[in-house]
Amino acid sequence: MTQPLASVQWDKELDQLILIDQTRLPRHIEYLFIRTIEESWEAIKSLQVRGAPAIGMTAAYGLYLGIRHAQNASRRELEQLITEQASYLASSRPTAINLVWALERIKTKAFNHPEISPPELIQLVLEEARLIQQEDENVCRSIGEHALTLFEDGIGVLTHCNAGSLATARYGTATAPFYLAQEKGWNIKVYADETRPVLQGSRLTAFELQQAGIDVTLICDNMAASVMQKGWIQAVIVGTDRVAANGDVANKIGTYGLAVLAKAHNIPFYVAAPLSSIDLNTEQGADIPIEEREGTEITHISEIPVAPAGIQTFNPAFDVTPSHLVTAIITEKGIVRGNYKQGLAELFQNHNIVELQINEAK
C-alpha cells in the first residue's frame, strides 16, 4: 500500500507550514511554503488547502505564524493579537466548522493559562496546533473502523468530493474505511463522483485512491443515478463540513442530490463526521452559512472558458442534506442513528466532550 500524501506538514527546522497545492493536482505535485498568516488565509480561501480537518489544521498553524514575532508584547497585547488574528483566519471560509473549532480550541487553551509568559504562550499555540494534527490521524482511523462495521467485502460504495487523506492528517473521514478495508484484504469497489465545479472527486479522490492501489472508478456527477439503478452501489458515504444539532448535514454541493437518489434506490446514506465537524450550537441546517464562490469556477475549467462570456452564474460551494435522508452519522466515538438531536447531544455527554462556544461561525 502506498503511503497517502500528507497535505499538511509542519517544518520544525524552518518554522514554516508546508502544504500540497491541491489546485495543481493531479497533474503536478507542488508544495507551498507558508511563512505568514496572510499566506495561510489565502491558501484556505483559494482552495489550495481544502477539506474541513485540513483547513482547521492550517488555520491553527496560521494563528501561530500570525503571533510568533510578538515575543516582546505584553500578555494583554498578545491575547488581543490572538483574538484579532483568529478572527481574520475565520473569515477565509464560512461553512466548515473545523476552521473556527480549531481557532476557538487554541484560544481557550491559551487564555486558560494566565500564568505563562508571552514567549511561552506563543509556543503553547504551536504545540496545540501540532496536537490537533496528531489527534486527527487517530480520529480518522477510528471513524474508518466504525464505518467498516457497516460494510462488507465486495460491495460497491459511492463517494462525493474529497474527504480523503488530502483533506485530513491521514486516512480521510469518508475514505478511511477504504484504506482499512485494503489492510484487511477486502476489495471494496469505490465509485467517485467528479464533483463539479472544481472537480475534487476526479482531481483528488480518484487520484489518491488510485495512488494507494484501491479499486476506484471515476464517474460524472450526473451518472450517479444510473450506477445505482444498475445495482452497482450498496452504500453512499460522504464527509461533511458541518453537522447541525438536528443532524442536518452541510457538505460539498451535490451531496443533497445523492441523498435523494440513495433514498429512491433504498441505498444507505452515511456521513463520516469527526466530532469537530458537529456544531451543537447550530440548531438546523437552514442556520448554516453557505459559502458562495466566484462564477468563474463554473464558466471555466483549468482557466479555459466553457460557457458564454458574461453569463449569469449561481455557485454555492455547499448544500444541506436534511437529517431524514441520513441513514447514520459515523464519528470517532461511535455511530449515531435515528433521533440525531438526542443522539448527537448524548455522544458529547457520554464521552465528556467539552462543547466549544463558537460565535464567529454564526
**CA 213 – CA 323 distance, rounded (Å):** 34
The cell for 69 is 514575532
Domain boundary among 72, 107, 140: 140
Residue type, 221: D
State the pTM of this model: 0.87
| Per-residue pLDDT at 29 exceeds 50 | yes
Residues 38 and 130 in one domain: yes
Three-state secondary structure call for residue 160: coil
Evaluate whether residue 290 is within a structural domain: yes
d(CA 82, CA 73): 12
- The reply, when asked if residue 93 is annotated as ligand binding, is yes
Range of 217's domain?
145-350
170 is in an annotated binding site: no
Q: Do 107 and 59 form a contact (C-beta atoms < 8 A)?
A: no
Looking at the structure, do residues 92 and 163 belong to the same domain, yes or no? no
Is 51 part of any known ligand binding site? yes
Number of domains in the chain: 2
Which of 162-166, 186-190, 220-224, 355-359 is predicted with the least confidence, judged by mean pLDDT? Answer: 355-359
Predicted local distance difference test score (pLDDT) of residue 167: 85
Q: What is the pLDDT of residues 90-118, one digit of tens each?
A: 999 988 788 999 999 999 999 999 899 99
- Is 141 annotated as belonging to a binding site? no
251 is in an annotated binding site: yes
Choose the final residue of a domain: 114, 140, 166.
140
Q: Kindly give, in sequence order, each residue whose CB lies less than 8 Å from that of residue 341, ignoring residues fewer than 6 positions away.
A: 245, 246, 247
- Domain end residue (candidates: 117, 140, 163): 140
Nearest to 140 by CA among 272, 302, 259, 295: 272
Q: What is the mean pLDDT of residues 261-283?
A: 96
Beta bridge partners of 18: 9, 33
Which residues are identified as catalytic? Answer: 241
Report the Cα–Cα distance between both ends of the chain, in Å, rounded: 42
What pLDDT, on the 0 to 100 scale, is given for residue 222? Answer: 97
Place of cell 507551498: 32
